[in-house]
Structure 1
Amino acid sequence: MEWIDNFKNHHDDLFVYQKSTERHVHDVFLYRYLLRYLPPSVTPNRLTVLRIIMTPPVFLLVLFNHYAWGATLFILTAFTDAMDGSMARMRGQITDFGKLFDPLADKLLIGSMVLLLVFRYFPDWLGLTILVVEILFIIAAYISHQYFHITRMANVWGKIKMWLQVVATFLVLLALLLDFPLLFAVAFWLFGFAIGFALISLFTYGI
């Protein structure tokens, strides 16, 4: 990814490593059984960029009703969100780039699925609410970084919101793949809970 290296050369301040002040149980678990076996060239920032790059293929697979491949690639892509955060904390590789683009990568992935699935199979107000809240996240993060020079990592409420959305989206894809309508109802409630956690995250942390 040569273009990433060129970007780094022009924005050095975004790539200064910062040590983490906290580690979670899942960080230790992922590091012990997966992350420590990855080469040093696999960095948290590159995983974040990979998630952004993989979002269009996921979108296209679902768009053309390839639900089995779409669901598989969606879960693998979403899993990089857990990987990059845990790797950054365990390796002491937290950067302002990651703080800015990790949430953005999440929003691109989830937002693309909202456009394809939520507006098609759920009430319009649900899709609109999800998109408006995600846009508010982006605006809050931009204002915080641009005008107050504060770059925050996503808090626990934001992470819960993200994974509720991931599970809900996967259930919708599974419902379409298996023709199992009950999963739509479960996904609907999970999206609703995700909105609640998103609002808590927005008002407590601003991203």
Structure 2
Amino acid sequence: MLKYLPNALTTLRLLLALPLGLLILRHHYALALWIGLLAGITDALDGFTARRLGYFSQFGAALDPVADKLLIMVTFLCFAQIELVPWYVATIVVGRDLIIVSGALCYRVLVGPIHFAATALSKINMLVQICFCVMLLAAQLTPLIGPQVIQGATVLVLMIAVVSGLDYVVTWTRKAHQNQEPGN
């Protein structure tokens, strides 16, 4: 039964995207913060249990980044809708993920199977985005997080999103070219 735990946690995280988005749109920031923290805990636990117990699956490996991307996309789009972040911030964050997913699909169709692993920059990007979302929700509940902090964190989110997105594009373009060269 434990072998299904990592995938169950990932599925739970995937299912939390809708209530999280609705809570943000309805300005229920305290509950949204709790749901976001629960999603973060499931993210940490699914990886930990998969590694610790050795319960890896192709399904889980594919579902985990989908759950992460869906949560981030829903959260940033809802933040933009209620004007907690400018639309260009949500567009860059969501656009980065859509470019990566589109690139992966193109690579699969045009080049071949993808042996995908998140890069260090991508992991940093996810951490920064999650921390930003938690901070932005917390800022709606307490005056201790001022506009300057939010503005600085927004700049950091934009910078790491662009840099990590470009890293993926460059890395996978090189891999595609190497696989297209004669002899490969």
Give the TM-score normalised by structure 2: 0.79
Task: Determine what percentage of the aligned residue pairs are the same residue.
Answer: 29
Q: Say which of 147, 171, 175 aligns to 1:204.
A: 171
Question: Is the contact between residue 61 and residue 70 of structure 1 (CA under 8 Å) also seen in structure 2?
Answer: yes
Whether 2:148 is the aligned partner of 1:182: answer yes
CA distances 1:106-147 after superposition (whole Å, capped 9, x unpaired): 111000111111452333322211111110121233344555
Please provide the CA RMSD for this pair. Answer: 2.3
Cα shift at 1:202:
4.6
Number of equivalent positions: 168
Query: Hey, what does 1:6 align to over in structure 2?
Result: none
- Change in CA separation of 1:157 and 1:50 when aligned onto 2, cut-off 3 Å: same
Q: Is 1:72 aligned with 2:38?
A: no
Within-5 A mapping of 1:24-173: 40=2, 42-118=4-80, 120-145=83-108, 148-173=112-137
- CA offsets per residue over residues 18-64 of structure 1, 9 Å max, x none? xxxxxxxxxxxxxxxxxxxxx71652111111111111111111111
Residue pair 1:169, 1:187 contacting (<8 A) in 2 also: no
Find the aligned partners of 2:55 and 2:106 in 1 and give their Cα distance.
Answer: 24
Give the partner amino acid of 2:153: A
Amino acid at match of 1:71: L
Distance 1:94 1:144 in 2: 24
Give the Cα–Cα distance (whole angstroms) in 1 for the partners of residues 37 and 99 of structure 2: 25
CA contact (8 A) 1:47 1:84 kept: yes
Give the secondary structure class of the aligned counterpart of 1:168.
helix
2:117 maps to a residue whose letter is M
Q: Which runs of 5+ in 2 are unaligned?
A: 174-184
